[in-house]
Amino acid sequence: MIAAVILAAGEGRRMGGPKALLRIDGETLLRRTARAALAAGCDPVLAVIGSWDPDLDGLEVRTLVNPAAREGMASSLRLGIAAMAPEVEAALLLTVDQPAVDAALLKELLALAAAHPTRPAACAYAGTLGIPAVLPRHHFPALLALRGDRGAKALLLREQTVSLPFPAGADDLDAPGDLDGIRR
C-alpha cells in the first residue's frame, strides 16, 4: 500500500495566500493534486493543510491541519509521515504547486517505485531530483528527523534514487505571474 502525502500547509506569502486554494479551470490546486493521487491508486491520501477550508468535499482525502506550518516543509512532512498506518509500505510526496503533475505521471512514478521497492523513486527536472517522489517505509525515520524548511531532497540525492524524467516539474508556481502563465 502506497499512501500519498500532499504538502499544502504553506501560507503562500509571495502568492498572496495559500497556493493550495488557487484555482485552475475552477478547481483548487489542492483538489487537482488530490484527484491525481487518488486516480493513481494511492490509499490513503493525506493532505497536510493550514487552518483553512480545503475544499475537498466528495474526495476520500484525510486532512491534517499543521499548527507548526510556519516552521517550513519539514513540519508538514513529519505530520504526514507520523500519520501513516503500519501497513503503508511507502509514501508518495507531493506539493500543489506543480500544475503539470497528473494521474498518468503519478502512475508512471508508482510503477517505477514498484520495480525498485527498496529505493526511493523521484522525478528528475532542472538537473536535479525532486517531488513527486516515492520513499519506502525504511526512510520514514529520516523524514521524521527533518527540521525547518527542508524537504526530502537531500535524502533523494544521497540514496540510490531511481528517477523518472519530468521536465515540466521545473514549472512550479512561486509568484502570481506564474499562475497567469499556466492559465493561458
Neighbours of 100 (CB within 10 A): 14
pLDDT at 12 over 70: no
Domains contained in the chain, CATH given: 2-183 (3.90.550.10)
pTM: 0.91
Judge whether 109 and 92 are in contact, CB under 8 Å. Answer: yes
pLDDT > 80? residue 16: no
Residue in the structure block whose three cell numbers are 501560507: 11
> To the nearest whole percent, how much of the chain has pLDDT over 70?
89
d(CA 131, CA 163): 10
Note the pLDDT of residue 37. Answer: 98
Report helix, strand or coil for 64.
Answer: strand
Query: How far is 88 from 131, CA to CA, in rounded Å?
Result: 19
Residue 180 half-sphere exposure toward CB, CA atoms < 13 A? 4
* Chain segment 80-112, per-residue pLDDT in tens: 999 999 999 999 999 998 989 999 999 999 999
Q: Each residue of 112-155: pLDDT tens digit?
A: 999 999 999 999 999 999 999 999 999 999 999 999 888 899 99
- Whole-angstrom CA distances from 98 to 30, 108, 110, 113, 116 are 11, 16, 17, 20, 25
With a CB cutoff of 8 Å and minimum separation 6, the contacts of 121 are 109, 112, 113, 133, 134, 161, 162, 163, 164
Q: Which of 4-8, 50-54, 150-154 has the highest mean pLDDT?
A: 4-8
Confidence grade of residue 177 (pLDDT, cut at 50, 70, 90): low
